[in-house]
Amino acid sequence: MLQTLPRMISLEGGEGAGKSTVIALITKVLRELGESVVQTREPGGTPYAEDIRQLLLADHIEAPAKDVEVLLMFAARAQHVRKLILPSIAHGAWVVCDRFTDASFAYQGAARGIDLQKLELLNQQFVGVQPGLTLLLDVDVPVGLARVDARGDRDRIEKEPAAFFEAVRQGYLTRAQAEPERIRVIDANRDPQVVADEVREIVTAYAQRHLSA
């Protein structure tokens, strides 16, 4: 069984969903409530895990095999949990994370074809925790990729074809359907202010229920 961390909020979504803006908003909302917040990301979050991130996202001549990719993702995540996430929560802070394990089920599972049971085994053995709340920014793939193009250069994973990201999106939605209490789906095709208002409402209500957790 995974340990649920009530004071951890993760943010998920495909490319161009607007995560950078929303994660800053989540952090702001929690701080307005007087809470200490650690904002982090995956893969990465600690110096060691950030080194793994560079291996994963750099556009090398030799791309990692899909099972190597997933093992590196979970290695970075295990380090992240032990060296940053759990210590931060133990010291009374909230942790707001740009992507967590749900991303592996969407990207490496649904899109790369890694067996979901193998991912769950890695999750249980080497991660062992899950956020109390996950916000999934759901955006139509053409809309998201157009936003990525407008932003500039793509990393290795962002260069995958549209069909890959359609599979990612469906993987995320399947996860959300299976865990509706933890994963809240937000339509990120809408005006950014409308999205922000919904995020603020959800996070404020959730945090007020768990301020003493």
Tell me: is residue 113 an annotated ligand-binding position.
Answer: no
Tell me: is residue 109 an annotated ligand-binding position.
Answer: no
Task: Return the CATH number at 115.
Answer: 3.40.50.300
> What residue has token string 């469906």?
170
pLDDT at 182 > cutoff 60: yes
Tell me: is residue 20 an annotated ligand-binding position.
Answer: yes
Tell me: is residue 34 an annotated ligand-binding position.
Answer: no
**Stretch 159-183: mean pLDDT:** 95
Using CA atoms, how far apart are residues 159 and 157, in angstroms rounded to an integer?
A: 5
Task: Quote the percentage of the chain above a pLDDT of 70.
Answer: 99
Residue 73: what residue type?
A: M
85-106: per-residue pLDDT in tens? Answer: 999 999 999 999 999 999 999 9
Tell me: is residue 17 an annotated ligand-binding position.
Answer: yes
141-154: per-residue pLDDT in tens? Answer: 999 898 888 887 77
Tell me: is residue 13 an annotated ligand-binding position.
Answer: yes
Residue 187: what residue type?
A: D
**Confidence at residue 154, expressed as pLDDT on a 0 to 100 scale:** 75
Tell me: is residue 44 an annotated ligand-binding position.
Answer: no
Show the domain range for 104.
3-209
Distance of CA 195 to the CA centre of its chain: 17
Q: Are 48 and 54 in contact (CB under 8 A)?
A: no
In the chain, the number of structural domains is 1
12-64: per-residue pLDDT in tens? Answer: 999 889 999 999 999 999 999 999 999 999 999 999 999 999 998 887 778 88
Average pLDDT, rounded, for the chain: 94
Catalogue the E-assigned strands of 34-108.
37-41, 94-98
pLDDT at 158 > cutoff 60: yes
> What is the pLDDT confidence band of residue 212, given thresholds at 50, 70 and 90?
low
Q: Are 111 and 163 in contact (CB under 8 A)?
A: no
Q: Lowest-confidence range among 61-65, 93-97, 124-128, 203-207?
A: 61-65
Using CA atoms, how far apart are residues 175 and 102, in angstroms rounded to an integer?
A: 7
- Kindly write down the DSSP assignment for every residue of 17-34, as one continuous string: S-HHHHHHHHHHHHHHTT
**Confidence at residue 94, expressed as pLDDT on a 0 to 100 scale:** 98
Burial 194-206 (b: 16+ CB within 10 A, else e): ebbebbbebbeeb
Using CA atoms, how far residue 212 sits from 6, 93, 186, 207, in Å, is 10, 11, 26, 9
Burial 78-112 (b: 16+ CB within 10 A, else e): bbbbeebbbebbeeebbbbbbbbbbbbbbbbbbbb
